Amino acid sequence: MAETKNMILNMGPQHPSTHGVLRLILELDGETVVKLTPEIGYLHRGVEKLGENLTYHQFIPLTDREDYVAALSNNLAYCMTVEKLLGLEVPPRAMVARVLLTELQRIASHLIWLGTFGLDIGAMSLFFYCMREREQILDIFEACAGARLTINYFAIGGLRHDLPEGFESRVRDFIKIFPERMKNDYERIFQDNKIVRMRTEGVGIISKEDAIDLGLSGPLLRACGVAWDIRKSNPYCGYETYDFDIATGKVGDVFDRYLVRMEEMRQSLKIVQQALDRLPGGAHLADDPKVCLPPKQKVMTEMEALIHHFKIVSEGFEPPVGEVYHSIETPRGELGFYIVSDGSNKPYRLRFRPPSFVNLESLAKMAEGKLIGDLIAIIGALDPVMGEVDR
């Protein structure tokens, strides 16, 4: 018999379903994946190094460009880390608004995930339905910050601007419409479909122990049945006062990841509702003239405010010497920022722990020995954002 050799297939960085510029080197035996080697770094921009040369305020827009599907979550994680370093108190209105907006961001991010996951396994229409609802959320963001994708709305000490007029009614419209859309347009067309079940159930199983060993977080970990959510285990922004459940799966397969994310959207909507009901009035930015930009009106009329404005914009502020780590639960998992301050106006070292990067390591474990079709579903359910992986 002739000698047989496995085929090496290079998948990506330009490939329709590698979600950006992920490159996979596959060793294939027929259609079975024997070995999988992910290649990353195609989107590396050296953001962490850039951070060492920017003042603390100047770095916020760069966080938008990490996990660009959930920019607000990144804003929040960074701002909270700096606030922790400074020991800065955020006014209650900003705190509630932050919760509300990041939960909307979670829904928007999961909608993108759901749509592209549908595309990956061939269900085309779902994508457009998801985009329709996401559009509504992006409109809310646009009303708040003027931007839709790289939102850059959170500032150190609170919000960049106050919430816009008509914000409440927009959010209420969304709350009213979304559960019905979820049930009719997503679940009935997708979840109840026999082929979807065949493609997702029992695919890409990862055990609880392996998931913890690999350091997975977010929906991926919760689908294995580990009820780990930083919003519960290490609450920030007052999450301990909201009533919501952690969605967990049983088996840890692709279908469980789907169910977990769907349930998370529902829970997020619940949090949005609660946050909207309790949204207090008052200041949207902390009253610390050394750190937070004064309102424009004051800059125009008061000498002192003008000086503060000039100082903050040109030099920034100087936090105390020390190091700090803070993490939050983004749609993809635990996002943590680590900042070392040497007392100057720029961080001595800035680093972050992107959830996608850590989650991606489980890919080989889940996909080896499976078919190419499974691999596509697994990547889809992993929901990696390459901007965050490569930084």
Partner 1 sequence: MTEFIIIMLVKMFVIFGAVMLTMTYITLAERKILGYMQIRPGPNRVGPWGLLQPIADGIKLFLKEDIIPDKASKVVFVIAPAMALIPAVMTLAVIPFGPAVTIMGRQVDVYMADVNIGILYIFAVSSIGVYGIVLAGWSSESKYSLLGGLRSSAQMISYELSMGFALVGVIMMSQSLSMVKIIEAQKGVWFIVPQFFGFIIYITAAIAELNRTPFDLPEGESELVAGYFTEYSSMKYAMFMLGEYINIISVSGIVTTLYLGGWSGPILPPLAWFMIKLLAVVFFMIWVRATYPRFRYDQLMTFGWKVLLPASIANILLTPVFMKIFGYL
Residue from 25, 147, 214, 371 binding partner 1 (CB under 8 A): 371
Residue pointed to by tokens 């106006």: 345
Stretch that binds partner 1, among 54-62, 93-101, 120-128, 333-341 (CB under 8 A): 120-128
Strand pairing category for 32-39 and 158-159? unpaired
Tell me how far the alpha carbon of residue 296 is from its chain's centroid. Answer: 31
Among 31, 89, 187, 245, which residue sits at the site for partner 1 (rule: CB under 8 A)?
Answer: 31
Identify which range of 98-106, 113-121, 225-233, 347-355 contacts partner 1 by CB under 8 A: 113-121
Identify which of residues 180 and 277 has a Cβ nearer to partner 1 in the complex.
180
Residue 125 within binding range of partner 1, rule CB under 8 A: yes
Residues of this chain, 4-23, that bind partner 1 according to CB under 8 A:
7, 9, 15-17
Cα 202 to Cα 374: distance, rounded to the nearest angstrom? 10
Residue 274 contacts residue 280 (beta carbons within 8 Å): no
CB of 21 to partner 1, least distance (A): 15
Q: Which is nearer to partner 1, 193 or 234 (CB)?
A: 193
Q: Does 122 sit near partner 1 (CB under 8 A)?
A: yes
Measured in degrees and rounded to the nearest 5, phi and psi for residue 27 equal -105, 120
Tokens found for residue 24: 């996979």
Nearest approach in angstroms of CB 261 to partner 1 is 17
Secondary structure of 189-223 in HEC code, one letter for each residue: HHHCCHHHHHHHCCCCCCCHHHHHHCCCCCHHHHH
In whole angstroms, the minimum distance from the beta carbon of 108 to partner 1 comes to 18
Q: 2: which 2 tokens?
A: 């002739």
- The 8-class DSSP code of residue 239 comes to G
Q: Which is nearer to partner 1, 353 or 370 (CB)?
A: 370
Give the residue, chosen from 36, 77, 88, 121, that forms a contact with partner 1 under the rule CB under 8 A. Answer: 121
**In the structure encoding, which two tokens stand for residue 120, read together?**
């990956």
- 1, 2, 124, 303: which one binds partner 1 (CB under 8 A): 124
Q: At what angle do helices 92-120 and 254-278 cross, to 10 degrees?
A: 150
**Taking CB under 8 A as the rule, does residue 374 contact partner 1?**
yes
Q: Is 321 in the site for partner 1 (CB under 8 A)?
A: no
Binding of partner 1 by 284 (CB under 8 A): no
Segment near partner 1 (CB under 8 A); pick from 121-129, 145-153, 226-234, 266-274: 121-129
Rounded least distance, CB 368 to partner 1, Å: 17
Alpha carbon distance 82, 346 (integer Å): 11
Q: How far is the CB of 38 from partner 1 (least distance, A)?
A: 17
Closest to 172 measured CA to CA, from 254, 313, 275, 42:
275
Contact predicate 350/338, CB 8 Å? yes
Angle at 20 between CA 390 and CA 123, to 5 degrees: 145
For residues 128 to 157, the per-residue mask of contacts with partner 1, x marking binding by CB under 8 A and - elsewhere, is xx--x-------------------------
Considering the rule CB under 8 A, would residue 234 count as an interface residue with partner 1?
Answer: no
125-145 vs 92-120: helix axis angle to the nearest 10?
Answer: 160
Residues from 169 through 228 that contact partner 1 (CB under 8 A)? 189-190, 193, 195-196, 198-199
* Piece in contact with partner 1 (CB under 8 A), picked from 66-74, 100-108, 117-125, 236-244: 117-125
Q: Which is nearer to partner 1, 132 or 270 (CB)?
A: 132
Greatest alpha-carbon span in the chain: 89
With tokens 């921009």, the residue in question is 45
Specify the residue, 199 or 332, whose C-beta has the smaller distance to partner 1: 199
The distance of closest approach from Cβ of residue 136 to partner 1 in the complex, given in angstroms and rounded to an integer, is: 13
CA 103 to chain CA centroid, nearest Å? 10
Query: What's at 133, amino acid-wise?
Result: E
Q: Which of 123, 223, 272, 385 binds partner 1 (CB under 8 A)?
A: 123
- Name beta bridge partners: 23: 39
Structural tokens at position 270: 């619940």
Q: Which residues bind partner 1 (CB under 8 A)?
A: 7, 9, 15-17, 31, 118-125, 127-129, 132, 189-190, 193, 195-196, 198-199, 371-374, 376
